[in-house]
Structure 1
Amino acid sequence: MKKASRKTKKKEGSKQRSHRATSNVFSMFDQSQIQEFKEAFTMIDANRDGFIDKEDLADTYASLGTDPEETILAAFKLLDADDKGVLNKKLLADILTTQADRFNTSELAQMFEIAPIDAAGNLDYKSLCYIVTHGQEEE
């Protein structure tokens, strides 16, 4: 009888742990709940490619009668007490990196790359919302 190498044992052990960890997640829900999750995923995955992407989300928003641009604008307006349509870049960076679902430095840099920012350091969030929901015009 041939002995399994340490590498093989390690692989098999990690497969078992991985399977066990996944199984534990599913054990939190009964079969009918898991089926509901699968159905919800299938409803959102409109193009049936196994992934929920930008187009799938746009279709979902549209089917709910929700305008994604208005939803994003409403979130920014919460921070714009004077209703100027702009937010200070530094203040926004501080909020986005320290509150709730925090942006990492890469995500923040990515947003500032496409965001219209004036010489005073104010971000035009109305234009940013348009760019995020409709895409950036090619020059």
Structure 2
Amino acid sequence: MPASKGSRSSSKKAKKGGGGGSNVFDMFTQKQVAEFKEGFQIMDHDRDGIIGKTDLRATFDEIGRMCAESELDEMLADAPGPINFTTLLHMFASRSSGESDDDDVVAASIRAFEKEPGKIDAEQFKSMLMAFGDKFTKEEVAAAFDIMEYDEDSGIIDSDALVGMLCASSGKEEEAAA
């Protein structure tokens, strides 16, 4: 009897103790966790609670971005095991531990919408802005399109110019590289 009592209390302590600074959920605000959860659910196409290769393929297909099998394999290899929601949060936490600045995150986010380097389909981008994350209103999308380089005839947004406009450091780095 004392053995079971001891194991019960030690398991409670282990659960309680794990909830301190080492809990990945403590690293993000409730709003951020909710946004990550929404993103996870969007990417989990087969709704099995794990993001696998077919889920990644479907996600990239949905945004119109070509992705080689080897790239999908590399993405999955970044994870220590199957990518459930908690694993995804751990991956975000390790990536956001000061290794990249906000400009890198913004640039990578914009580049994720590219159909080919430097080009984003404007209609698809509008739809995504109004459908995911902090959803934009039609008015906010219209205001954003008023200030970005956008070719109405071809329906293409110049993603390089958009990244340059949104990221203070990108223009300086590109000039230095030239």
Fold similarity call, TM over 0.5: no
The structure with the larger Rg is: 1
TM-score with structure 1 length normalisation? 0.44
